[in-house]
């Protein structure tokens, strides 16, 4: 039972473009929404996270947009670079991070 849906499965973007990855959840008890970045041969690494009391969080070129009523959140990567090429996972947890549920991942390729 997939509690967090993620799309697209794969994404190809030109250098300098905007990459957008979308996630949707069902459990209204979720209260913490992180994004993880994974490079080949490595474990996922926490990239940016948001709580439902704000609608947007920005860290450098990475922005999370959050829509509580629609139960959706998205990752925007501005000015995408080839070094951003990786697999991105959205996740959600309740109880202030008790256990996380992950989306299936999006493989991003940024062309030079």
Partner 1 sequence: DAGITQSPRHKVTETGTPVTLRCHQTENHRYMYWYRQDPGHGLRLIHYSYGVKDTDKGEVSDGYSVSRSKTEDFLLTLESATSSQTSVYFCAIRRQGESAQGYTFGSGTRLTVV
What's the N-to-C CA distance of the chain in angstroms?
A: 38
Residues 81-100 that bind partner 1 (CB under 8 A): 89, 96-97, 99-100
> What gap in Å lies between CA 34 and CA 4, rounded to an integer?
12
> What gap in Å lies between CA 6 and CA 73, rounded to an integer?
10
Residues sharing a CB contact under 8 Å with residue 104, sequence separation 6 or more, in sequence order: 2, 6, 9, 89
25 touching partner 1, by CB under 8 A: no
Report the nearest approach of partner 1 to the CB of residue 102 (Å). 4
In the list 8, 14, 18, 45, the residue contacting partner 1 (rule: CB under 8 A) is 45
In the list 25, 66, 73, 102, the residue contacting partner 1 (rule: CB under 8 A) is 102
Choose one: 16-24, 40-48, 57-65, 69-77; the region binding partner 1 (CB under 8 A).
Answer: 40-48
């Amino acid at each position: 039972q997939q509690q967090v849906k993620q799309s697209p499965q794969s994404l190809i973007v030109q250098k300098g473009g905007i990459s957008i990855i979308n996630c949707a959840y069902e459990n209204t008890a979720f209260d913490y929404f992180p994004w993880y970045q994974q490079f080949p041969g490595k474990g996922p690494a926490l990239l940016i996270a948001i709580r439902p009391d704000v609608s947007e969080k920005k860290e450098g070129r990475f922005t999370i947009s959050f829509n509580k009523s629609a139960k959706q959140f998205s990752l925007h990567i501005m000015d995408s670079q080839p070094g951003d090429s990786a697999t991105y996972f959205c996740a959600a947890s309740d109880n202030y991070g008790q256990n996380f549920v992950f989306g299936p991942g999006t493989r991003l390729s940024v062309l030079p």
